[in-house]
Amino acid sequence: MSRDDLLRVDQEGPVTWLTINRPEKRNALTAAFFSKLAEVMLEVDSDPAVRVVVIRGEGKCFTVGMDMNEASSLALDSSAAGREELRKHVLDLQETINTIERCSKPVIAAVHGYCLGGGIDITTACDLRIASKDAVFSIRETKVAIIADMGTLQRMPAIIGQGWFRDLALTGRDFCAEEALQMGFVTRICETREELIDEARRLAEEISANSPLTVSGTKEVINYTRDHGVNASLQFVAQKNAVLLHSEDLTEAVGAFLEKRRPAFKGR
């Protein structure tokens, strides 16, 4: 299977659907998949027609994480050169996950079945996570003698807090959709996979109906606040709004309010 087949890209109006597409291997993640994901995320980030991205999995689950056969082969060379090559490979994978977080468009993870290891890395970089009732999550790395190294240890504490996070990261245990909802890792649960996709579509369409300038600006300010703190972010958002308050989208929002109609934002 080529790398392009490993990640299916579908467009529904302003919403781009990215489907992890290796169902015969329970969507195990390969280097070729990450290469394609990085390319696609950069494309959707620069495409003004795209307002929201949804990541989902084909088949029985979201993903069981990294392809262990491929990953283990990278660790076989214990020479200095081999270890340096492994370090660079990990940095490349990290950068791919970063493209999800840095994307100016909101990214929604729609999770069903297993979401393990590298799947958690992907979902923690997303803006929103929703799940079907059968979803099972795990920061599985401690159970296979690896330190999670693609962003989960850095991002997940800000989502669910240190207490829950340390419990999950140190034990490597499974946690279900209900527990994920309780700790705030996911924001809503659907009964079936079909309902999950419908809910992801509804949520994406609701977001895409808003001003894309304001949505991307809000995402940027949220991430900036997490990384730099309240005071620095207050200065940052003042600068952002000094620019955005002169947008055509704001004029449209005011006009739509006065005319009692839905606004039609154009992102400028």
Beta-carbon contacts of 102 under 8 Å, excluding residues fewer than 6 positions away, are 45
Q: What is the pLDDT of residue 69?
A: 79
What are the boundaries of each domain within the chain? 3-208, 212-258
Question: How far, in Å, CA of 167 to CA of 218, rounded?
Answer: 31
pLDDT exceeds 80 at position 262: no
Task: Tell me the per-residue pLDDT of 109-127, one tens digit each, with 9 for 90 and over.
Answer: 999 999 999 999 999 999 9
Q: Residue 244's pLDDT band (boundaries 50, 70, 90)?
A: confident
Q: Is residue 114 a contact partner of residue 26, using CB atoms and an 8 Å limit?
A: yes
Integer Cα distance of 181 and 162 in angstroms = 16
**Mean per-residue pLDDT of the chain:** 92
Segment 35-49, tens digit of pLDDT? 999 999 999 999 999
- Of the candidate ranges 137-146, 231-240, 257-266, the one whose mean pLDDT is the lowest: 257-266
CATH number for domain 3-208, candidates 3.40.50.300, 3.90.226.10, 1.25.40.10, 3.10.129.10 = 3.90.226.10
User: How large a percentage of the chain has pLDDT more than 70?
Assistant: 91
Q: Is the per-residue pLDDT at 253 higher than 80?
A: no
Residue 210 backbone phi and psi in degrees, to 5: -85, 170
21 with 5: CB under 8 angstroms? yes
Digit-coded pLDDT (tens) for 157-214: 999 999 999 999 999 999 999 999 999 999 999 999 999 999 999 999 999 999 998 9
Beta-bridged to residue 20, according to DSSP, are 7, 57
> Tell me, what's the pLDDT at 268?
65
Measured distance CA(47)–CA(262) in Å, rounded: 24
- In sign, the C-alpha dihedral spanning 40, 44, 47, 50 is positive
- Cα Rg, the chain, nearest whole Å: 19
Helices (DSSP H) in the chain: which residue ranges? 3-6, 31-46, 68-74, 80-102, 118-125, 152-160, 162-171, 177-183, 193-208, 212-228, 230-244, 248-258
Query: Interhelix angle for 118-125 vs 152-160, to 10°?
Result: 60
Report the run of H or E that residue 8 belongs to, with start and end: strand 7-12
> What band does 245 get if pLDDT is binned at 50, 70 and 90?
confident
| Residue 74 pLDDT greater than 70, yes or no | no
What would the two tokens of residue 161 be? 């807090």
Amino acid 251: pLDDT: 66
> Does pLDDT of 237 surpass 70?
yes
CB atoms within 10 A of CB 100: 24
Task: Identify whether the C-beta of residue 8 lies closer than 8 Å to the C-beta of residue 21.
Answer: yes
